[in-house]
Amino acid sequence: MPPRILELRKKVLKKNDELARELRQRFVETDVTVINLVSSPGAGKTTLLFRILTALQQADFQSLAVVGDLATDNDARQLARSGVPVRQITTDGYCHLEADMVAGHIHDWDLASSDFLFIENVGNLVCPATYDLGESLRVVLHSVPEGEDKPLKYPKLFNTADVAVITKIDLAAVCEFDPQTVRENIQSVRPGMRVFELSAKTGDGMHQWLEFLKEFRTTTQTKSEIRIPESETNSSATNGRKK
């Protein structure tokens, strides 16, 4: 008997991919850099994103943010204190965000006036890897208290990300955490991946990370270009911040 569940899953993924492609097209046309943050629950996505939003605003970049959680709007309320428009996506049991959830929550936003759209995914080391959200850059966070072996145990999340950020580096000594080992583990599943280390609490490493984000915005036409075949888009999004 053919596995029906598998067939249904394939259909859902195909539909998601099609919608993600449409979203990516829209992001390219409106020249907004879209960053999808993925990690285990509690790895520090919201804490880091709050600092990013605040710093980018001070540097005159326009940002928007959506945040996914199974329940509560705690993260959206926390992020909204940055002054940036934020929307909570309550997934009501889904352990990841899907392209239609993002599309439904940003449809009336003026993307063309924004430089960055941040998506904080649901905390989960498995499911978010499978769902394209049309992002330009997927960032996987790995927090110090998780130990060094998570890239080996959850390779797909690291494989499908573009950049890794080791968070809570201020806890390295107390957790007896070895940054070199986790870097080697990341490289073994995703050779060549760029890795940052930072603490959103102390600010260590934040400068390099923020400079990377700004540079990504200003010098790269993002992964959108790589992911979309030329035949599907004539867009040539401009670089740099919008005024």
Residues 119-138 contacting Mg ion, CB under 5 A: none
Residue of 19, 44, 142, 222 that binds ligand GTP (CB under 6 A): 44
H or E, element range at 138: strand 137-143
3-class DSSP assignment, residue 28: helix
41 binds, among ligand GTP, Mg ion, none (CB under 5 to 8 A by kind): ligand GTP
Q: How far apart are CA 88 and CA 76, in angstroms?
A: 5
The answer to whether residue 43 forms part of the interface with ligand GTP (CB under 6 A) is yes
Which CB atom, from 18 or from 204, has the smaller least distance to ligand GTP? 204
| Amino acid identity for residue 62 in this structure | Q
Would you state the structure tokens that stand for residue 37, as one six-digit string?
């943050």
Q: Which among 79-87, 111-119, 180-188, 193-201 is the span making contact with ligand GTP, rule CB under 6 A?
A: 193-201
User: Which distant-in-sequence residues (6+ apart) come within 8 Å of 113 by Cβ?
Assistant: 62, 242
* CA distance readout (Å), 24 to 17, 35, 80, 134: 10, 12, 25, 4
42 binds, among ligand GTP, Mg ion, none (CB under 5 to 8 A by kind): ligand GTP
Q: Are 75 and 46 in contact (CB under 8 A)?
A: yes
x/- binding map, residues 93-132, to ligand GTP, per CB under 6 A?
A: ------------------------------x---------
Q: How far apart are CA 165 and CA 179, in angstroms?
A: 11
Q: How far apart are CA 147 and CA 69, in angstroms?
A: 24
The answer to whether residue 47 forms part of the interface with Mg ion (CB under 5 A) is no
DSSP lists the bridge partners of residue 230 as none
Least separation in angstroms between residue 45's CB and ligand GTP is: 4
Least separation in angstroms between residue 19's CB and ligand GTP is: 24
Q: Which residues bind Mg ion (CB under 5 A)?
A: 45-46, 75
Contacts with ligand GTP, residue ranges (CB under 6 A)? 39, 41-47, 75, 123, 167-168, 170-171, 199-201
